[in-house]
Amino acid sequence: MATLAERLNAWFADAATADAVGRLREPTTSEVAQAISQDPSHDVTISRSYLTALRNGSQTNPTVSVLSALVRYFQSREMTLPVSVSALISEATPPAAPEEKDEWAEALSDRQVRSIAMRAGQLTPELREQLLSIMDVLDDPKKSAKPAREEGDA
């Protein structure tokens, strides 16, 4: 069962965006706290230290207004995870996923895999096709297992 801190940290990871050189970068705790505090649509202010305490699990009982402010911030970002108060505080364990979903989740838990997927998602369909072709060549065990032949070999 995921804790509030684990779910919140998953949102931070899911909210990562590519920086100028294409690396995925999560929003910092300070950036999120500042954005929430400066949002004119509510009167919630949150300090970096309190948000850090929520993220590390030392604070576990935020007010509904703090939860709503967190949800509002993450809903303004491109997210793949569900973003709602109930998703953040849900005590229910999700139903068991099929084995294929477990494989996907395991693969996507790697930061480099997520970075490649995010960058590929921004490519045109033609460039994605070229990228898949390159990956097929790299993944072909027959080509990578064959030693290079020298000119004198027959």
pLDDT digits (tens, 9 = 90+) for 53-91: 999 999 999 999 999 999 999 999 989 999 999 888 875
Average pLDDT in the chain: 82
Model pTM?
A: 0.59
Is 150 domain-assigned? no
101 and 89: one domain? no
Is 153 domain-assigned? no
42-78 in b/e form (b: 16+ CB < 10 A) is: eebebeeebbebbbeeebeebeeebbbbbbbbbeeee
Encoded tokens for 10? 């998953």
Indicate the helix (H) or strand (E) that contains 140.
none
| pLDDT computed for residue 118 by the predictor | 77
Is 108 domain-assigned? yes
CATH code of the domain containing 53: 1.10.260.40
Residue numbers of the domain that contains 82: 4-93
Beta bridge partners of 24: 18
13 and 89: one domain? yes
Distances (CA, A) of 91 to 7, 66, 86, 94, 134: 11, 18, 9, 9, 43
Encoded tokens for 146? 């064959």
Q: Please list, in sequence order, all residues whose beta carbon lies within 8 angstroms of the beta carbon of residue 106, skipping any fewer than 6 positions away.
A: none
68 and 141: one domain? no
Q: How many domains does the chain have?
A: 2
15 and 69: one domain? yes
